[in-house]
Amino acid sequence: MTKVISIANQKGGVGKTITAINLSSFLTILDKKVLLIDMDPQGHSGIGLGIDIEDKDYSTTYDLLINKDKTLEDCITEIEVQDKTLDLVISNVELSYAERELEKLYRSPIQILKKKLKTTIKNNIYDYVIIDCPPSLGNLAINAFLSSDTIIVPVATSFFSLHGVEKIAGTLNEIMEELEIEFNIYGLLTRYRRNQNVSHEVHETMKDYFNNNMFKTVIRENIDLEKAIGEGLPICEYKKSSNGYLDYKRLAMEIMSYGN
């Protein structure tokens, strides 16, 4: 059964896209069939995997959502990760126009991604679909949420990053109540520094926000994660000896264990 996971936070600098890229990559090298969809107009998932997102030869998330004749298969770019294939739907700034255009084109503009994924999920083509969400709560983000069974909210270990957590957790609960749907919401602690008091305090506060629905894995502060993205590579292709490699591998394995 396909698991659809959105990675969302309104605050930047918390490791949202780094998590999307590296979680997708590790699930792929652990023999899972994975699709990564970039729903953020910044297009950082594609950039972080070495794609020129402005190349007109690529079909994008914008094409998938706006062009009624475009199928998911039409928009996939294949990425090689350790001799395995990760499927990616890239985005670019053009996707920012989709917020308004969806309203004009469709009666239910928040359900389009779910409809486009319907056949793929029904046929279990993928084990996991990972969605990198935009840092906002408009039509694009809600399309992602309504397509998902799980939402991961990365939170960096600073008190400033906690300010948006209560808001996004509350919004997600409101969406579930209003639309009568359910998805699991998990907190992921990122940029963790073991010897820093604030890291422990933020961790404890997050348990309250997420009702202890927290990953056991924490993502430690690690410059290699940023360097890898700068090279257009996931950490598994960049430096196997790094903490970032170990942490994201653990996260992928923890998520896989939830399906057993």
Q: Domain extents for the chain? A: 3-258
Strand 128-132 to 34-38 pairing: parallel
Residue 162: predicted pLDDT: 67
End-to-end C-alpha distance for the chain, whole angstroms: 11
Any idea which residue has 């809600």 for tokens? 142
Helices (H), 210-242: 223-230, 235-238
Dihedrals φ, ψ of 96, to 5°? Answer: -60, -25
Residue 161: predicted pLDDT: 67
- State how far the Cα of 117 lies from the Cα of 241, in Å rounded to an integer: 36
Structure token pair of residue 152? 């991961």
Contacts (Cβ under 8 Å, ≥6 apart) of 96: 41
**pLDDT (tens digit, 0 to 9) for every residue of the chain, 260 residues total?**
899 999 998 777 788 999 999 999 999 999 999 999 999 999 999 999 999 999 988 999 999 999 999 999 999 999 999 999 999 999 999 999 998 899 888 888 899 999 999 999 989 999 999 999 998 878 899 999 999 999 999 988 876 666 667 777 777 888 888 877 888 899 999 988 877 677 777 788 888 888 778 999 999 999 999 999 999 999 999 999 999 999 999 999 999 998 65
- Packing angle between helix 98-105 and helix 139-147, nearest 10 degrees? 70
- State how far the Cα of 186 lies from the Cα of 147, in Å rounded to an integer: 16
Residue 167: predicted pLDDT: 73
Q: Which has the closest alpha carbon to 81: 26, 37, 20, 23?
A: 26
Q: Which amino acid is at 38?
A: D
Residue 178: predicted pLDDT: 83
Could you say which architecture CATH assigns to the domain 3-258? 3-Layer(aba) Sandwich (3.40)
